[in-house]
Structures are given as structure tokens and as C-alpha cells.
A and B are shown apart, each in its own frame.
Chain A
């Protein structure tokens, strides 16, 4: 199993550009999450999904969109990138039980200049 795969690993965007961060998992996990790493703030939840066709907002959803058309994939779309979106983005997945730990991808480091 590859686990949780995030692409790209690094990206530099200009202000106003758009991009999609890809996340795929091969563990048949129902739950998938997008977090961003803010210095001194741990991980902030952007969006999450409990299954194909179901998504919900987290703590910091503004400026982002998601879709979940399959169990395996959970892409995160940035529209009109802003410097405040410079961060490391982590995708994670788990089985649909609250006692099931998250499995994280390796992260995508995004810089918006």
C-alpha cells in the first residue's frame, strides 16, 4: 500500500493564481481531511469528508474548495491564491470510527508571492 499520497511536494504560486493540491489514499478509508500547518498553531482543519459525495467545512475554509467524487481522492482547490495561504498542507485519512487514527501524507509546501 502506498498509504496517503500528496502531490505536488512543493509549489510556488503568484498572487491570484489558482491550483489544485491532490490527495489520494489506497486504504479504502472513508474519512479524509485537509489541514494546514500554521507556525505555533499546530494543524488547522480546512475541509473534511466522511465519504464520497460528502464534504464539510473545518476551522479555516475560506479561500478553498474541495470535492470527493471517489473514496480514494480528495483534491483541495485554491482559487485566487493569497500570501496568507502560504503554508504546508497535509492530507490525512482514516477508517470511519473515532477510535481509528489518522494516516497522514507527506505534505505539500506552498508559497504564494
Chain B
């Protein structure tokens, strides 16, 4: 069973709120974790690729942390804006042979 779990499944926040979501993955044999942003009617676009325990990445108001020993990554959005509304996906490399498995995503809706 290939388990990449994301929570919550959906989130509704007001403009200006800060929010965070979780991606859980197997803590053994870690290779890399990816975060993608997926807007409706578009294709997913990469946000971050994380490979080292303790990694922290930041792009504007969005940041991510990684804990490979306990098997989770957090994605944070500071001061959410309506344009942040999208589904946020994490993906985990299960082996060195290229197998990249996605979680079910967190759907974020930001109301003005």
C-alpha cells in the first residue's frame, strides 16, 4: 500500500487568514517530497522540492517544512489571498527508480 496522506481534505478561510496543511508519508527510505499547486482547469505547477530532513523552503507568502524522521511536511500560507485558492498536492518518491505518488490534495478556498 502506497500511503501519502494529506489533511485536511478541504479548507475554507477568509482573506488575510494564515493557514497550513499537512502531508504524511512513510518515514523509512525517504528520497524526496514535492509540493504542487493546482488551479481549477489548469495543470499542476511545482512549488517546492524537498530532499533533506529539516528543509525549509519559501516562495513569497508560501513556505514548507520537512520532517523525514517522523514522515510529515507542512505547507504554510501567510495572509491568504483569493488568488491562493487552489488544490495543493504533495508527492513522494517511493524509490530511486522514479515512482512518484501523489496525495489526495487539500482544496483551499479563500473568500474575499
The 6 closest A-B pairs by CB, nearest first: A101-B46, A98-B32, A104-B43, A42-B104, A43-B102, A42-B105
- Give the number of A-B contacts (CB < 8 Å): 64
- Given that A40-B104, A41-B104, A42-B105 are known contacts, is A101 also in contact with B34, CB under 8 Å in the complex? yes
- The answer to whether the Cβ of A27 comes within 8 Å of any Cβ in the partner chain is no
Q: Which of B5-58 contact A (CB under 8 A)?
A: 6, 9, 31-32, 34, 36, 43-46, 49, 51
CB distance from A58 to the nearest CB of B (A): 7
A98:B51 contact, CB within 8 angstroms: yes
- The answer to whether the Cβ of B110 comes within 8 Å of any Cβ in the partner chain is no
Which residue from A50, A58, A98, A107 sits with its C-beta under 8 Å from B43? A107
Q: How many residues of B contact A (CB 8 A)?
A: 27
- The answer to whether the Cβ of A56 comes within 8 Å of any Cβ in the partner chain is yes
* Interface size of A as a range: 20 to 34
CB-nearest residue of chain A to B97: A50
B104:A58 contact, CB within 8 angstroms: no
CB distance from A46 to the nearest CB of B (A): 12
* A42 CA / B86 CA spacing, docked (Å): 12
